[in-house]
């Protein structure tokens, strides 16, 4: 059984949504009227709040139960709850699940920008999403939310590490693309985290 859900803001980024759902998903352009996206201070995720006369562009996707559970988990860790809301795809009205932050009024913050998010936050958001989704098997939403700050810190550290040149090594050099990750587990997660990877690489 499938149900429609509205993807907006960062979830319209193909790389991020593929991490959340475990595979790429395709949707149809849609619009949520009388709402606006805002950018909470210090956060990269967009929040939907009511605002008369405005609208939020996004995509409607049909999700099977397993994929909807993944979306609920990811958005739940970020502090969102889901509500049925009326969308306008192709001049029709469709009721779909929408992730909403728990606040009724537009706060004093800037309107969310996809371009700014891509330039400033996207890489860290994708890294954080990958760790969040690894925790789905072992941590409740509340448990993962409790360590969200640490998840973001680790994500930012990994992104920074990739921007710095690695030390020279003796030939033959092995490229990152030569190593295949077979399986990934995260047996310990708190202020620090331990990740286990099963790897395959040429010998």
State pLDDT tens for residues 2-44: 899 999 999 999 999 999 999 999 999 999 999 888 876 545 5
Are 91 and 144 in the same domain? no
Are 21 and 101 in the same domain? yes
Are 90 and 131 in the same domain? no
Between CA 172 and CA 23 the distance in angstroms is: 34
State pLDDT tens for residues 76-123: 999 889 999 999 877 778 899 999 876 545 555 567 889 989 999 999
Nearest to 73, CA basis, from 148, 179, 4: 148
CATH number at residue 72: 3.10.490.10
132 found inside a domain? yes
108 found inside a domain? yes
Q: What sign for the dihedral angle of Cα 198, 143, 6, 106?
A: negative
Q: How confident is the model at residue 126 (pLDDT cuts 50, 70, 90)?
A: very high
pLDDT of residue 42: 46
């Amino acid at each position: 059984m499938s149900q429609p859900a509205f993807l907006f803001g960062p979830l319209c980024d193909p790389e991020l949504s593929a991490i959340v759902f475990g595979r790429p998903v395709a949707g149809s352009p849609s619009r949520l009227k009388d709402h606006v996206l805002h950018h909470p201070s210090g956060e990269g995720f967009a929040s939907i709040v009511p605002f008369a006369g405005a609208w939020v562009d996004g995509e409607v996707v049909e999700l099977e139960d397993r994929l909807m559970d993944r979306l609920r988990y990811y958005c739940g860790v970020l502090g969102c709850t889901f509500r049925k809301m009326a969308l306008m795809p192709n001049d029709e009205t469709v009721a779909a699940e929408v992730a909403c932050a728990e606040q009724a009024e537009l706060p004093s913050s800037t309107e969310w920008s996809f371009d700014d998010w891509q330039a400033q936050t996207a890489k860290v958001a994708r890294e954080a999403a990958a760790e969040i989704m690894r925790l789905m098997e072992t941590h409740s939403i509340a448990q993962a939310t409790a360590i969200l700050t640490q998840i973001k810190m680790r994500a930012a550290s990994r992104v920074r590490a990739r921007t710095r040149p690695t030390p020279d090594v003796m030939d033959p050099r092995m490229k990152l693309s030569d190593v295949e990750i077979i399986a990934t587990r995260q047996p310990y997660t708190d202020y620090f985290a331990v990740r286990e990877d099963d790897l395959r690489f040429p010998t």
